[in-house]
Chains A and B, each alone.
Chain A
Amino acid sequence: AQTVTQSQPEMSVQEAETVTLSCTYDTSESNYYLFWYKQPPSRQMILVIRQEAYKQQNATENRFSVNFQKAAKSFSLKISDSQLGDTAMYFCAFMKSRDDKIIFGKGTRLHILP
């Protein structure tokens, strides 16, 4: 069975700083997808970034980038120039190829301080 582990329950950083959220996963699959989702307080969950395991290049979306280490089964999210609006719960998630069951980690609560 696949598992997703986020070892940082909560983090706080100052506005404009860079922060990295950790995620490790366990799978015997060779092809899969990894995601980071953001759930702001009392607002809807949105997709931040998506990575296909067969792609060696790390995904990037504006200030958000990932460090995907397939051999280590690690998938961290880096947020550059953090903004107050980045305050949210962040979930790392895994999905097998040919399977739409997304498995979420327990989340990291991120506070951006003014």
Chain B
Amino acid sequence: DAGVTQSPTHLIKTRGQQVTLRCSPKSGHDTVSWYQQALGQGPQFIFQYYEEEERQRGNFPDRFSGHQFPNYSSELNVNALLLGDSALYLCASSLGWVEAGAEQYFGPGTRLTVT
């Protein structure tokens, strides 16, 4: 059983560009959350998708948007990239919500570098 997979592994973009990161949840999982982990910091919650809708959102600007597809896979889009967007972007999936007892399984992350 494949766990959570993310693509690409690494990405280098220029300031002002747009980027799309992809996540495939663990088989059977229906909920996807995205986190940003800056170097030397803990992950920060960006948003969560459930039933193709954004269910919750952290303190991130509208430049960060996402989507969940009918097969539960998800995309994270970041527009107008800033140098400060350089980070490891983690996707986590669960069957249901963590508050209901579900465990989140994390992917290996996508390392985004903005130059």
By secondary structure, the A interface counts as loop
Among the stretches B64-72, B75-83, B103-111, the one at the interface with A is: B103-111
Contact indicator B42/A100 (Cβ below 8 Å): no
Contact indicator B97/A100 (Cβ below 8 Å): yes
Contact indicator A106/B41 (Cβ below 8 Å): yes
Contact indicator A100/B106 (Cβ below 8 Å): no
Contact indicator B42/A95 (Cβ below 8 Å): no
Task: State whether A106 and B98 are in contact (beta carbons under 8 Å apart), knowing that A47-B104, A100-B48 are contacts in the complex.
Answer: no
Cα distance, A105 to B42, chains bound together (Å): 6
Scoring A46, A99, A100 by chain B CB atoms within 10 A of each residue's CB, the highest score goes to: A100
Which residues from B are CB-within-8-Å of A44?
3-4, 105-109
Interface size, chain B (Cβ < 8 Å): 26
Give the interface size bracket for A toward B: 20 to 34
Contact indicator A99/B43 (Cβ below 8 Å): no
Q: Interface 1/0s, chain A 1-14, versus B by CB < 8 A?
A: 00010000000000
- Please give 20 more A-B residue pairs, beta carbons under 8 A apart, in addition to A4-B42, A45-B90, A102-B33: A33-B98, A33-B99, A44-B105, A44-B107, A45-B43, A45-B92, A46-B105, A50-B103, A91-B42, A93-B42, A100-B33, A100-B56, A100-B97, A101-B45, A102-B104, A104-B42, A104-B43, A106-B40, A106-B41, A107-B41
